[in-house]
């Protein structure tokens, strides 16, 4: 079911949907508000969101502790305007007319908070650039 509100929809995809894609979805929701529909999924979802990712986002005032990894489906991709992969490569089905981006980001799996902070901060920068491109602020 495609969004009929005219808002762009963004899907973040990483293998486990437990770290990078969860942080990216949280940043986009936090920074763009209701200007963008945000989703995340994984080609092989983990059991839970990475605790270091939860802690890193909590440090900047964003709570992702209640999020759960979700399975990537063909329909999820089909109904998204922008699909951003973060290490899953060709696990995402390709549809004409969709925009595909691949963000090269280190996998935070198994890493401590010290290693996850720079990944979190890099994701914020990428998300800010994405917002400026697809959903600039009306006052901009």
Q: Which residues are catalytic?
A: 14, 88, 92
Task: Tell me the C-alpha to C-alpha distance, in Å, between residue 39 and each of 43, 110, 112, 118.
Answer: 14, 24, 25, 22
How far is residue 10 from each of residues 25, 49, 113, measured CA to CA in Å? 8, 19, 27
Answer for the pair 39, 54: CB distance below 8 angstroms, yes or no. Answer: no
The first and second tokens of residue 57, run together, are 């986002």
- Distance of alpha carbon 17 from alpha carbon 95, whole angstroms: 21
Cα separation, 98 vs 81, in Å, equals 5
């Amino acid at each position: 079911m495609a969004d009929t509100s005219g808002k762009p929809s963004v899907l973040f995809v990483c293998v486990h949907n437990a770290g990078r894609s969860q942080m990216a979805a949280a940043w986009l929701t936090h920074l763009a508000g209701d200007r963008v529909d945000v989703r995340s999924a994984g080609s092989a979802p983990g059991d839970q969101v990475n605790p270091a990712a939860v802690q890193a986002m909590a440090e900047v005032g964003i709570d992702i502790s209640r999020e759960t990894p979700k399975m990537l489906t063909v329909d999820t991709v089909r109904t998204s305007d922008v699909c951003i992969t973060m290490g899953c490569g060709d696990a995402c089905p390709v549809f004409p007319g969709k925009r595909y981006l691949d963000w090269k980001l280190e996998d935070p799996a198994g890493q401590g908070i010290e290693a996850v902070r720079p990944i979190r901060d890099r994701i914020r920068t990428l998300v800010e650039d994405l917002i400026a491109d697809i959903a600039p602020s009306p006052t901009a």
